[in-house]
Structure 1
């Protein structure tokens, strides 16, 4: 009995394989062509999806670069204003020092002029 059931299982398996072979052999050139066309459509859709994803990333990077450029421009304007105010403050301090001690300022200017003359001769 055990051999009879094993024989039945083997026959069922063989029948299944034969059915699968018939299905595989019944596939016509039209079926293959239809599957290829489906693959082409899927690849085209995938290509479009990747292209839109890439263009979105490019736009995002461009916007971020514009933001960074604007921030850099603002920072440079701020640095220029700070430098200008520092120079104005230093100029005002120098003027105040010259007004408070004019003889010292004249002596310093004469000393600097003398050193410049010595260096220019060499």
Structure 2
């Protein structure tokens, strides 16, 4: 009986680990899909910021709406799972870090540090 319980526990742990790894890979794929949507012929710039305080899809949506209001922002994609927002700027746009941080605060979240994206992500 004890051996059966141990085997069931092992199966449960493996199942939970596989679920956790799938969500991590899905979040990474979502980020890559957003970055890949860009038109590669234009000169858009993509920036990413840590954001603290998001803990649901509604938070994500609220932050995206606020950031998209900035003049010069072409698109924004927030992720409460990754605790970040990826912002695509229009070609030639002059958007300051202060403007972005103010919008994050206006959406009632705490801005973190700017995350540098690697060249293959841009």
Tell me if both proteins adopt one fold, taking TM over 0.5 as the criterion.
no
TM-score bucket (shorter structure): 0.3 to 0.5
Larger fraction in strand: 2
Q: Which has the higher contact order (CA 8 A, sep 6+)?
A: 2
| TM-score relative to the length of structure 2 | 0.32
Larger fraction in helix: 1
| TM-score relative to the length of structure 1 | 0.32
